[in-house]
Chains A and B, each alone.
Chain A
């Protein structure tokens, strides 16, 4: 048996199963069945997911116009106008164009115009252009290069209806 002592723990336990099981059980159990991380389950493609807010991830760049009758969250890059209900431009996102909505929250960069009932410029916001609003909140640290002016009370900034 002394020759087995030269080999490692795992080898000993496999080649000499009649030995008393005083060796540490952990390597024995781990050796034949290495624990594999289960792959992340594929996100479901059910039609229920077709509703809800649209998300433009940071990997996506859109050149053109976006129109939605629901909320939009933007983390990527957009060159063009955006019409939505609640539009969130996340930190790191870039928009070149006008943003229209009921609520526009900006944490990224917009070069263009914001026209919304309620505008929130967070501390990381970078706004180059005019802001037309009825209700505005500007946090300390936000950058604005443009005019802020209250828009008329008549609401003509509703998002366009979806053609069906």
Chain B
């Protein structure tokens, strides 16, 4: 799977769309669609996320639509987390609603990677 890597030196203002894996260590403002998204430690993401797997170690503000969500101990999340399975590590700072949704909900999301094909 193609891997994209945005280092801590980068700032992106705009939308990102990927069929593969995307790792963000810098600043991103915009909507993100990916198969798998990693928001690394020190990163800041402002915007909505649609993905199959989301792994957050940094800061994020916005809505998450993902089947599997992992919030690591350094995570700081503001917004809403629509999920099917979620893991929250001790130490994560979550200020968000976390509505559970069945897997079918994510299949019908138009911009979800699987739905686009």
Binding site for B on A (CB under 8 A): 43, 45, 47, 49-70, 72, 75-76, 80, 162-163
Contacts and interface: CB of A to CB of B under 8 A. Distances in A.
15 contacts: A47-B42, A49-B23, A49-B40, A52-B5, A54-B6, A54-B10, A60-B16, A62-B12, A63-B14, A66-B11, A67-B11, A67-B12, A70-B7, A76-B4, A162-B11
Interface string B52-93: 000101000000000000000000000000000000000000
Contact of B3 (A50, A57, A68): A57
A58 B17 contact: no
Interface residues of B, number: 34
Nearest to A53: B7
B11 A60 contact: no
Contact of A62 (B1, B15, B38, B42): B15
B20 A54 contact: no
A76 to B, nearest CB: 7
B106 interface: no
Interface of B: 1-20, 22-23, 25-27, 30, 34, 38, 40-43, 55, 57
Contacts of A62: 12, 14-17
Nearest to B14: A64
Contacts of A47: 40-42
Contacts of A45: 23, 38, 40, 55, 57
A54 B43 CA distance: 13
Contacts of B3: 43, 55, 57
B2 A66 contact: no
Contacts of A61: 16-18
A57 B8 contact: no
